[in-house]
Amino acid sequence: MANPRVAGPTRHPLNRRQPHFEIAIMNAKNDRSSWLKGPGTACSVPPGPCPRPYRLVLLGAPGVGKGTQAELLSERLGACQLSTGDVFRAAKILDPCDRTPALNQALDFMKRGELVPDSTVLQMVRERVNCLRCHGGFLLDGFPRTVAQAEALEGMLTEEKLRLDAVLSYDLPIEQIVARLSGRRTCSKCKAVYHLETRPPRQAGVCDQCGADLFQREDDRPEAIRVRMDAYEKSTAPLADFYRARRLLVSVPANGTPEEIFNRTVKALNGG
């Protein structure tokens, strides 16, 4: 008879192969060159031997702290943080002549705060399929962003005979997201990030590190935050349903400190 703890309808995603989320493997930090610069570039520090590669997707609205959790998980699991936003940002500093027309167009969408068309994003990810095959596993951050992207990812993984272990969804009420983002201030020179309440600079409006003025990013203003949230709700929130239907979705409340959220993540991955 099937063991209901691993085969029943409430089975936890990670229980398929390993009941406990064992961590603390990694120290060396990969520079993710293959992901950031493309398939012609090798990673300087490839992941070491990995007894259990984790393949995770991270979902969450802007401002929930998903990027920070991706970094913490990467340090502990050894899997690289594969952020599509980081690939676009890396492309931004290239000479425009070294960018493809599709990439230039993608950067225009990004500048306006809009989503880059699926076809461009998918081409970029397909070119980097090696990173999905990596023996260290992966943490996808910012991809997929639409159901079409999720379907394409599913196809790519099936072709590679790989499957996701779980999809982490970081959830926070919109009022708290607005409070977090609208209190954020960025240094105009060194780009250090502060928060009026949780990480204030020693002197109001002045960077502790370089003494330059702090400013509020255009897209961190409350009106702009609501626009970004609407866009997120429309195109990305349906992803939760997509992955819930596949019994991969693991919800994590994103309130509290990064460490608290991280501990909650590990607990949630282990089945709560």
Residues noted as catalytic: 66, 145, 184, 217, 228
Q: Is the Cβ of residue 25 or residue 80 nearer to ligand AMP in the bound state?
A: 80
- Residue 88 as a binder of ligand AMP (CB under 6 A): the answer is yes
Least distance between ligand AMP and beta carbon 114 (Å): 6
Q: Is the Cβ of residue 14 or residue 116 nearer to ligand AMP in the bound state?
A: 116
- Between CA 11 and CA 27 the distance in angstroms is 32
- CB–CB of 14/270 below 8 Å? yes
**Site track 37-66 with ligand AMP (rule: CB under 6 A), x = hit:** -------------------------x----
Least distance between ligand AMP and beta carbon 163 (Å): 20
The CA–CA distances, whole Å, from 241 to 136, 139, 170, 246, 248 equal 28, 20, 14, 9, 10
List residues bridging with 200 in a β-sheet: none
- Which range binds ligand AMP by CB under 6 A, 97-105, 109-117, 172-180, 204-212? 109-117
- Residue 21 as a binder of ligand AMP (CB under 6 A): the answer is no
- Residue 183 as a binder of ligand AMP (CB under 6 A): the answer is no
The CA–CA distances, whole Å, from 272 to 2, 17, 50, 258 equal 22, 17, 25, 18
- What is the identity of the amino acid at 205? G
Neighbours of 22 (CB within 10 A): 14
Q: Which residues bind ligand AMP (CB under 6 A)?
A: 62, 83-85, 88, 109-110, 113-116, 121, 142-143, 145, 149
